[in-house]
Amino acid sequence: MARRNEERGDRRNRDEADSDIVEKLVHINRVAATVKGGRRFSFAALMVVGDQKGRVGFGHGKAREVPEAIRKATEEAKKSMIRVPLRESRTLHHDGSGRWGAGKVMVRAAPPGTGVIAGGPMRAVLETLGVQDVVGKSVGSSNPYNMVRATFEALKVQSSPRQVASKRGKKVADVIGRRADGASAAPADAEG
């Protein structure tokens, strides 16, 4: 009996978690299979989902109808979400680049007020991630599947000062040092 109530509670928590997830349709493609009687058409959908608080995922679904393809892609995207550390909940901690096939992307942290400067599929990923200030550039293939995967490769290598400090066995202050933007002014600045 108690187990059933726990399962219901878990389901409610999952529904609440799903309610704040933003879904973006990146690309719809009509694909045809040649069969004995002619061509059979189906649709492929590429979706990006995120909670705009540092979690994002993408998925791909195929079906005979567009809504069903979108539903399948959304389900897959929710299962494949990753967490990306954000600086001040608005930008990335450092620059990064990613590559998938012929798709190459570069992402750079930006000062407040910059906005999301990126195009197409890359913009969809960064907006659903919750980044407000970032500069992105796509070099190479404009294939949406490769661009989304390359963007995810660039985001996977992002690390926060806390993660770097724990790997090195140091304090966060030792890792950050002095930033050019004055985010962490060292005591030496006050003296001289």
So what's the pLDDT on residue 181? 54
Secondary structure class of 96 (helix, strand, coil): strand
pTM: 0.79
> Is the pLDDT assigned to residue 85 strictly greater than 50?
yes
Cα–Cα distance for residue pair 98/151, rounded to 1 Å: 6
Q: How far apart are CA 140 and CA 149, in angstroms?
A: 13
CA distance 180 to 177: 10
Q: What is the pLDDT of residue 10?
A: 55
Whether the pLDDT of residue 177 is over 80: the answer is no
Residues, the chain: 192
Nearest Cα to 108, choosing from 91, 87, 130? 91
More confident position, 94 or 6: 94
Phi/psi at 15 (5° precision): -65, -40
Question: Mean pLDDT in the chain?
Answer: 84
Amino acid 90: pLDDT: 87
pLDDT in tens, 37-52: 999 999 999 999 999 8
The 8-class DSSP code of residue 99 comes to: E
- Confidence at residue 191, expressed as pLDDT on a 0 to 100 scale: 43
What is the per-residue pLDDT across 103-158, written as a single tens digit (0 to 9) for each? Answer: 999 999 999 999 999 988 999 999 999 999 999 999 988 999 999 999 999 999 98
